[in-house]
Amino acid sequence: SYELTQPPSVSVSPGQTASITCSGDKLGAKYACWYQLKPGQSPVLVIYQDNKRPSGIPERFSGSTSGNTATLTISGTQALDEADYYCQAWDSGTAMVFGGGTKLTVL
C-alpha cells in the first residue's frame, strides 16, 4: 500500500520560516495537499494541487513538490500556526492516503 512519510515534529521561532516535508514514491507525479489540525477543531485544507491556496488561507502558506517530496512552507510563522499538519495524496491502489502528521511548535 502507498505510504507518505512526515517528520514527527518541527520547531520554528516566531517570524521564521517553517518547512514540513512529505515523502512518498513518485509523489511528484501525484497531487499533494496539506491540512492543518488544531486541538478541538476540524482539519483545514491549507494547500492543494501541490502549491495552491484555498480562499481564506494566508499567503504565508505555500507548497512545492520535487521528485518524491512535497514541502509545506510557512513564511513568517506566527504563534497561531502551531498545529499538526498532514499531507495527503491519492494513489490508484490505496485511494486517499494521509501522512503520519507533523507537530509544528512555534517556540
- List residues binding other proteins (CB under 8 A): 1, 30-33, 35, 37, 42-45, 48-49, 54, 84, 86, 88-90, 94-101
The grid cell for 71 is: 514541502
Q: Which is nearer to other proteins, 80 or 96 (CB)?
A: 96
Q: Which is nearer to other proteins, 17 or 104 (CB)?
A: 104
Please, what is the minimum distance in Å from the beta carbon of residue 5 to other proteins? 12
Please, what is the minimum distance in Å from the beta carbon of residue 16 to other proteins? 25
Q: Which is nearer to other proteins, 24 or 101 (CB)?
A: 101
Tracing cell 512555534 back to the chain, one arrives at 106
**Do 104 and 84 meet the contact criterion of CB atoms below 8 Å apart?**
yes
Under DSSP, is residue 80 helix (H, G, I), strand (E, B) or coil?
A: helix
Handedness of CA 103, 42, 33, 96 (dihedral sign): positive
